[in-house]
Amino acid sequence: MAGGVSVNAIRIEKIRPTRTEWAFFIFGQFIFVNDFRISEKFCERSTFLLGRGPRKGMAMIISMKRHATREEIDAVTNQVNHFGYKVHSIEGEERVVIGVVGVGDVTACMESIEAMPQVENVMRISAPYKFVSKEFRKEKTQIRVNGTVIGGDEFVVIAGPCSVESEEQILRSAEGVAKAGAKLLRGGAFKPRTSPYDFQGMEEEGLKLLQKAKKATGLGIVTEVMSDRDVDLVANYADVLQIGARNMQNFMLLKALGKCGRPILLKRGLSSTVKELLMSAEYIVAHGNPDVMLCERGIRTFETVTRNTCDIAAIPALNELTHLPVILDPSHATGKRSLVPALARAGVAIGADGLIVEAHPAPEKAISDGAQSLDMFQFARMMDDLKPYIDLWKASRAREVAAAASI
């Protein structure tokens, strides 16, 4: 989602941003990638898309003065090209922003551009993750999923069982979480398991059951994809493709997700840093998919009381570093259903954009992760307990939006 306009339809072929330099130029309703034209309605006020080459890439943002003419914009673009850098322009209603990327020191180019009278300001992007950085985009990215906006003014709860086990089980789960207020249904059709002898999921049959649950309840579907070979299959059924912790740095999969046309829920790896999570998100966005949500699901430490250790501070840290929505998974972070509601409340209070919670109609009979799954009554009670926290969250989000608009 870019500026409230979906860019899921973009297909970027022949682009290898980790190997070559590249850039886009956007004009009107067409996107040009080198000599290729891609039709897409796209309008945004202050962002750009850039790539990086095999050596260290440098980037900067050029903000034109309001109502700059086409001749003035072309003059800046030509000056950037003169220095050997690539450009990407985005034209808003009142202002044009030009993104610049290249290899080497851009100081001379910056000084030259700053001296041009039609330029308001020039700013260097220092973060290694260019696309997902707050330097790239100040406003929170809003992602539309089945009528629900994630990253906007609504706190979104995703809920459902760890695995799709049967038609009755997934339908009961969907009906229960929908009644309690969840907006999206989670459920695994493909399951990565530590033991090769454990239940691996119902695969495509499970995807078909998730579709039935969607038709019955209207809930959008969030489900995991484990291999780049399965991306197209899962995308045919799911509204959001989830990338589990074990696949956070599966780079072939991340590249394929850049072309899938579906929003992505990217979970943090078991032993990964926040920077590594952001760099994995960069892979997806760099390959053409801007609709990425990040998920804090706990990391592996020496602590054994909980299944993982929830890095709760990662949520406000990510909110400072990136414009992407951040989701908390209190189920995997704790591994104990008794701890899930408390951590869910903490997630709302600390500024997450939503939760993904495991809920099952009969956790004691669950094939996987029963110990951390809430039953339908417990889930409904948790949702009720969250209401005053969500009210405070909405007030805080409104202040953040108003402050951003005043800058």
Nearest to 379 by CA among 104, 157, 60, 154: 157
Alpha carbons 319 and 299: distance in angstroms, whole number: 18
Phi–psi pair at 275, nearest 5 degrees: -60, -40
Q: What is the pLDDT of residue 28?
A: 38
Q: Please give the pLDDT value at position 137.
A: 81
Checking DSSP bridges between strand 30-33 and strand 24-27, what pairing results, if any? antiparallel
For each of the domains in the chain, give its residue range(s) and CATH number, in order of start. Answer: 24-125 (3.30.70.1140), 143-406 (3.20.20.70)
- Both tokens assigned to 145: 């999923």
Helix, strand or coil for residue 18?
A: coil
pLDDT at residue number 215: 97
With 0.95 as the threshold, say if the pTM is over it: no
Mean pLDDT by 10 residues, the chain (407 residues): 40 37 39 37 34 50 87 92 78 70 80 92 81 84 96 97 96 98 96 70 92 97 96 96 96 95 97 97 89 97 96 97 97 97 98 98 95 98 98 94 76
Q: 235 near 261, Cβ under 8 Å?
A: yes
